Amino acid sequence: MTQASANLPLLAVTLGDVAGIGPEITAKMLMGHDALRQKARLVVIGDVDVMKAAVSGLGGDPAIVRRVDKPADATNTPGTIEVLQAGPSLAHVKLGEINADAGDGSVRFVTTACALARAGEVDGIVTAPLNKAAMHAAGHKWPGHTELLAHEFDVKTFSLVLSAGDLYIFHATTHVSLRQAIEDVNPARMRAVLRLAGSFAKALGRADEPVAVAGLNPHAGENGIFGSEDADILTPAVAEANAEGILAAGPIPADALFPQAVRGKWKFVIACYHDQGHAPFKSVYGDDGVNITVGLPVVRVSVDHGTAFDIAGKGIAREDSLILAAERAAHLAPGWTHVWETARAQTGG
């Protein structure tokens, strides 16, 4: 390994659910995009046998898959895939099928990466997709990656953030029912996510960019005609944020806010619930977006798509989002301590 390579951020790439496209897109990224190695060192946290099978399925030589005992052993050599084995082999898992062993493995890969990050052995985490049904079948009842990561790092204030270019969409709630999301959009949560978004903007040197809050109800409640939450919860939260020195605006009707954000008027946006943020983001950006967890002590960036069981093993899955995730993690990792400390100072951790 060259000295220049040794100075690059070391990223743990978790393999996700091995019955899905995670192994395939990971293999494609590491086999065909050597320019990425000039931005980061990458070590796969997963399964050697599964990675060899993925490489073979793409017509490659499985001998390029090399097992390492610790992240520091990764050489970043082009044409190799370096894997830290996390648990027993999952070679028996069939592609495209829900499997509890695969679900258990996907969680184990993440918890292993988190342990390595806590120990200072990796500088960031990049995650391929997991399957919630498989994860739950294995007894891991987490709603998704974000909540599992927050648990592993013992943080209470965090947010799933969708990002493309310089647009960041924070989510006040994520993997809960719509009925539950409405209940969870409460004063305490809105204060916390506004502070989190404000601290993130500040850490990026963009404290002069306002945080725009999407209305919960149609037309942001239309003066109470379509619900009182916007006036009773969101408006006071925005006013409190401004009083604390966080530039904030809203609530703004979501059907007006998101088109404005896509056109560049807003860089930092808060969506009140999962589909309010995800649906317009995915419609516009598709594979050009990534998922960042803000509020963790280490940078974590993920693909913005699922396990795609229907195309697993067919060789047609696109690695674009995973590459973007690795590039974004490599970009953010060197300054992430500042992001974390700023967020912790404003939110209480």
Which domains are present in the chain?
1-154+294-333 (3.40.718.10), 158-289 (3.40.718.10)
pLDDT for 5 beyond 70:
no
pLDDT interval class at 100 (50, 70, 90): very high
Output the furthest CA–CA distance in the chain (Å, rounded): 65
Residue 40 is given by DSSP the state: -
For residue 4, what are the contacts with CB-CB under 8 A and spacing of at least 6? none
Q: What is the mean pLDDT of residues 324-332?
A: 94
Q: Is the dihedral of CA 104, 109, 113, 115 positive or negative?
A: positive
Q: Give the amino acid at 299.
A: V
Alpha carbons 46 and 44: distance in angstroms, whole number: 6
Residue 64 is given by DSSP the state: G
Reported as a single tens digit per residue, the pLDDT across 190-220 is 999 999 999 899 888 898 999 999 999 999 9
Q: How far is CA 239 from CA 138, 214, 233, 242, 270, in A?
A: 44, 14, 10, 5, 15
Reported as a single tens digit per residue, the pLDDT across 237-271 is 999 999 999 999 999 999 999 999 999 999 999 99
Q: What percent of the chain has pLDDT over 70?
A: 97
Alpha carbons 281 and 15: distance in angstroms, whole number: 24
pLDDT interval class at 32 (50, 70, 90): confident
pLDDT for 1 beyond 70:
no
